[in-house]
Amino acid sequence: MAFIEVAVPVPLRQTFTYFSDRTLVPGLRVLVPFGNRELIGVVIKDAPRPASPEKIKPIKKIYDEQPVLDGLLLSLCHWLSQYYHHPVGEVAHTMLPVLLRKGESAQPQPMQFYKVANSVDVETLHTLKRAKKQYALIMALQESPLELSLLREQYSASIINAVKEKGLIETFEKPASIEDKSWLGKLKIAERPVPDPEQAIAVTAINQQTGKFAPFLLEGVTGSGKTEVYLQAIEPVLQAGKQVLILVPEIGLTPQTVDRFRQRFGIEVGVLHSQLNDSARLRVWQQARDGELGIIIGTRSAIFTPLKYPGMLIVDEEHDESFKQQDGLRYHARDLAVMRAQESQMPLVMGTATPSLETLQNALGKRYGHLQLTRRAGGAQVTRQHILDIKDQPVRFGIAEGMLKIIRQHLEQGNQVLVFINRRGFAPAILCHHCGEVEQCHRCERPFTVHRGHRRLQCHHCGATRPIPSSCSHCHSPDLVTEGVGTEQLEQGLTQLFPNASQVRIDSDSVRGKDKLQQILQDINQQKYQLLIGTQILSKGHHFPHVTLVVVLDCDGALFSADFRAAEKLAQLITQLAGRAGRATKPGEMWLQSHNPAHPLLQDLVQNGYHHFARHALLERKMALLPPFQSQILLRAEAVQAEQAFTFLQQARQYLEDAQLQVMGPMPSLMEKRQGRYRFILVAQAAHRKPLHNVVRLALPAIAAQPLASRVRWALDVDPTDFT
Ligand SMILES: Nc1ncnc2c1ncn2[C@@H]1O[C@H](COP(=O)(O)OP(=O)(O)OP(=O)(O)O)[C@@H](O)[C@H]1O
Ligand SMILES: [Zn+2]
């Protein structure tokens, strides 16, 4: 009999001991009794013989023969649990694909596919033409057979059943086997551009470090050919039969990237993103683990993908906020990438035009190799940036007269214009013209956004919606007016102002659905649209060769934010937006509308660029004793009664008092109330990570044992990036 330590997915910072009739290797999944439930846990190691062995319960079931967390991932799991002060059982769960958390087999299973039945002839198909969806399904299957879960995702059960009953489709099974390194035989390098000198230096520098832990910041201005550097740097890695894992902010937003990798190497690329169904996700996980994929591209959680032959890690747009998980285990995928690269002894390339100050500081401090691309690829010119002072200027739909003129010029030359605004919806507020009352979400105490298209008000903080009222909720006057401009209104306005320019709106309301954005992006590059109106989505890595003008309507709000990262984020956004213009042969320009044209941040950015801004911002952070020169840990608490959340943090504060730490708060979060709960934060920071983490580690049990701990919602956030 053996005693085994198991990590169980419960919010307790410990492992639990069970017995088994045989020894078990770490990383296997087991079913264990826990209270009156049974839970799937992960074997951590052998446990010492407990004091009262008769009280130990048996392991009920062993799911795996091979560990689902290999040695390297298991040590990453321990590191995560330590560093983020998070229960190890929950960490192990987070690291696994959903189906494995639920107990599905980790071994590849035969897959059910559908194809068009052999007996179907043209005439039968003809009779289907009126049943449009059934017809579409048949046409799709005729192109290539589809796996069952994918088919279910795209077509309703009734449609699938209808064609099945008519005998038009039939199933077949694909065997479960996975072919180790089968991609290597198919690998062939498509024609590629000759790298310019800076690109060549970067590629060589990376390749000299093969087989070693070597983190690099690839700081390259927008359109400088960073992706081309990745492509050329991974070439020898793939040729040596090793795998490459690439993290990107959001694949839905940059489908072009995946295509570029596929086309360059002619092999299947494993793709992991949020819209993928659970079985497809598990399949990629298996293929990566068993060496069947050479390239895996995924979003944040793809950092947990097991690799049989780890060769290189790439984090594209490393500054992107989506790499930080904002609930549960609040990990930063970029920081984990550093850990993984170190464990597996491989190079890590973090690329961006707008490095986070954390990564930049590591590069400037020589902890990371620093590669720079200072020129745009293929002879494209740098986007010229300007500020338009709109004080006292007449404004229509949020656009100043002067700006309209500039837009008109670009449109008349047959070019595309991108207009950015940070707000979706019709207007960010609706208020009573008689008494001034603003319609607010009671649960968040913030104004409702007006969505004319849906005829509803929506709270952008909690999602609550209700019909647009016909009279003021306070004085009942029917005279309600909207305040400010959102994408919806801007679109209507621009249609009026430029009736001859075809336009498209791109925000999370207008591009719902999987392939819609991809289609729109294609249409944009085929010049179906002249005016592109949208939110942040438009700032992400897209290649728009015909855009020559980018207009930023309103960035003043961010200039006065209480969040110390607001300036960095704004500078990144503006620079990335500017990077969408002038990427090909035509020169591009960007105009920022502002009531504060002399603001030092805007001036610095426009005159000297992000490169200069970021180095200056680092000096400021240093003087202000802020990250990356200080480490922070944040304790958040929220409760229906503000008092409780506040008091909980105030009591917690006592346990954090230490000469080496600076503790700030409790203070209200930037968003003081959300979904009916009041929210407070407590920030602990220190110049060195170690003492900070030690104090927090010792304090946590006492904090968790406070009576209020069970009455408020609270969480710990290590290296926090979000203070809302
Ligand atoms: N050496 C080169 N010679 C010619 N064209 C190149 C070269 N390198 C890259 N390009 C082309 O330049 C364009 C921009 O390159 P790429 O998309 O790699 O830039 P990027 O730095 O990743 O851009 P961004 O960060 O702005 O998204 C692409 O169309 C690419 O094919
Ligand atoms: Zn709300």
**Residue owning the nearest CA to atom 9 of ligand 1:** 225
CA of 624 to the centre of ligand 1 (A): 37
pLDDT at 173: 82
Q: Is the pLDDT of residue 640 over 80?
A: yes
Per-residue pLDDT for 232 more than 90? yes
pLDDT of residue 682: 94
Identify the nearest ligand to the CA of 673 by its number: 2
Q: Which residues, in sequence order, are bridge partners of residue 601?
A: none
Contact indicator for 215, 341 with CB cutoff of 8 Å: yes
Same domain, 226 and 374: yes
* Same domain for 90 and 72: yes
Q: Is it true that the peptide bond before 666 is cis, omega within 30 degrees of 0?
A: yes
CA pair distance 296, 283, nearest whole angstrom: 12
pLDDT, mean over the chain: 90
Query: Whole domain around residue 707: which residue ranges?
Result: 631-718
Buried b (16+ CB within 10 A) or exposed e, 340-350: bbebbebbbbb
Among residues 370, 372, 369, 371, the alpha carbon closest in space to that of 212 is found at 369
Ligand 1 atom 4, closest CA: 378
Measure 528 CA to ligand 1 centroid, in angstroms: 23
Are 598 and 476 contained in the same domain?
no
Q: Which one has a higher pLDDT value, 307 or 154?
A: 307
Task: CATH number of the domain at 670, please.
Answer: 3.30.70.600
Residue 501 has a pLDDT of: 86
The verdict on 333 and 399 lying in the same domain is: no
Tokens of 500: 């001859």
Classify 569 as helix, strand or coil.
helix
- Is the ipTM higher than 0.95? The answer is yes
The amino acid occupying position 254 is T
Bridge-based pairing state of the strands 503-506 and 531-534: parallel
Work out how many domains the chain is built from and give that number: 6
Residues at CB less than 6 angstroms from ligand 1 = 193-196, 199, 220, 222-228, 353, 377-378, 541, 543, 579
State the pLDDT at residue 514: 60
Per-residue pLDDT band at 637 (split at 50, 70, 90): very high
As given in the structure block, the two tokens for residue 178 are 């996975």
pLDDT-above-90 percentage for the chain: 55
pLDDT band at 541 (very low <50, low <70, confident <90, very high): confident
Measured from the alpha carbon of residue 464, the closest ligand is: 2
Going by C-alpha positions, the residue among 487, 461, 486, 469 that lies closest to residue 432 is: 469
- Which ligand is nearest to the Cα of residue 572, counting in written order? 1
* Structural domain contains residue 182: no
Please check whether residue 56 is in contact with residue 70, taking contact to mean a CB–CB distance below 8 angstroms. no
Asked, for residue 724, whether it belongs to a domain, the answer is no
Domain limit, last residue, from 149, 174, 199: 174
Ligand nearest to the Cα of 675, by number:
2
To test the pocket of ligand 1, the residue of 192, 196, 199, 227 to mutate (highest count of ligand atoms within 8 Å of its CB) is 227
Residues 223 and 320 in one domain: yes
- Which is the closest atom of ligand 1 to the Cα of 222? 26
Cα of 199 from ligand 1 centre, angstroms: 10
Model pLDDT for residues 390-417, shown as the tens digit of each residue: 888 888 888 998 899 999 999 999 899 9
- Residue 180: inside a domain, yes or no? no
Return the CATH number at 18. 3.40.1440.60
Q: Which of 38, 70, 101 is the last residue of a domain?
A: 101
In a domain, 401, yes or no: yes
pLDDT tens, 249-290? 976 666 778 889 999 999 989 999 877 889 889 999 999 999
Q: How many CB atoms lie within 10 A of CB 279?
A: 17
Bridge partner list, 633 = 684, 718
**pLDDT classification of 115: cutoffs 50, 70, 90:** confident
What is the whole-number distance in angstroms between the Cα of residue 388 and the centre of ligand 2?
Answer: 34
Tell me the C-alpha to C-alpha distance, in Å, between residue 577 and each of 490, 550, 560: 18, 7, 20
Of residues 521 and 194, more confidence is placed in 194
Judged against a pLDDT cut of 80, whether residue 151 lies above it is answered with no
- For 542-589, write each residue's pLDDT tens digit: 888 888 999 999 888 778 787 899 899 999 999 998 888 888 788 889
Residue 165 sits in the same domain as residue 200: no
Together in a domain, 581 and 694: no
Residue 195 clears pLDDT 70, i.e. is over it: yes
Token output for 187? 């690998």
Centre of ligand 1 to C-alpha 195, Å, is: 10
Boundary-marking domain end, from 76, 101, 126: 101
H-helix segments, 451-543: 487-497, 516-525
Pocket test for ligand 1, best of 192, 194, 218, 228 (most atoms within 8 A of CB): 228
Cα separation, 152 vs 280, whole angstroms: 12
Give the integer Cα–Cα distance in Å for 349 and 314: 5
Alpha carbon of 418 to ligand 2 centroid (Å): 31
The reply to whether 355 and 248 lie within a common domain is: yes
pLDDT in tens, 496-540: 999 988 898 888 777 776 677 888 888 888 889 999 998 888 787
Does residue 45 register a pLDDT over 70? yes
pLDDT tens digit string along 680-689? 999 999 999 9
396 in a domain, yes or no?
A: yes
Domain contains 623 = no
Atom nearest to 373 CA in ligand 1: 21
Taking CA atoms, 340 is separated from 76, 444, 466, in Å, by 7, 39, 47
Q: Are 371 and 388 members of one domain?
A: no
CATH of the domain at 387: 3.40.50.300
Do residues 594 and 649 both lie within one domain? no
Q: Is the domain of 553 the same as that of 474?
A: no
Element housing 17 (H / E): strand 16-20
Which amino acid is located at 422 in the chain?
N
pLDDT at 650 over 90: yes
Ligand closest to 461 (CA) is 2
Burial class (CB in 10 A: 0-12, 13-18, 19+), 525: middle
Residue located nearest, by CA, to atom 8 of ligand 1 = 225
Binding site feature residues: 432, 435, 441, 444, 459, 462, 472, 475
According to the model, what pLDDT value does residue 299 have? Answer: 93
Angle in degrees, CA 385, 387, 390, rounded to 5? 155
Q: Which residues of 626-655 are buried (b: 16+ CB within 10 A; e: fewer)?
A: bbbebbbbbbbbbbeebebbbbbbebbbeb
CA of 509 to the centre of ligand 2 (A): 18
- With 80 as the cut, is the pLDDT of residue 183 above it? yes
Q: Does 321 fall in a domain?
A: yes
Distance 557 CA to ligand 2 centre (A): 20
Q: Comparing 52 with 613, which gets the higher pLDDT?
A: 613
Judge whether 624 lies within some domain. Answer: no
Q: Whose CA is nearest to atom 12 of ligand 1?
A: 377
Share of the chain above pLDDT 70, in %: 99
Residue 717 — very low, low, confident or very high, per pLDDT cuts 50/70/90?
Answer: very high
Which of 182-191, 538-547, 635-644 reaches the highest mean pLDDT?
635-644
The two most distant CA atoms of the chain are separated, in Å, by 85
Q: Decide which of 113 and 410 is more confident.
A: 410
Is residue 137 very low, low, confident or very high in pLDDT (cuts 50, 70, 90)? confident
Q: The dihedral of CA 321, 327, 333, 338: what is its sign?
A: positive
Q: Which residues are annotated as a binding site for Zn(2+)?
A: 432, 435, 441, 444, 459, 462, 472, 475
Residues 386 and 372 in one domain: no
The percent of the chain in helix, strand and coil, each rounded to the nearest 5, is: 35, 25, 40
Nearest CA to ligand 1 atom 29: 543
The arithmetic mean of pLDDT across residues 372-378, rounded, is 88
For residue 206, pLDDT over 80 is answered with yes
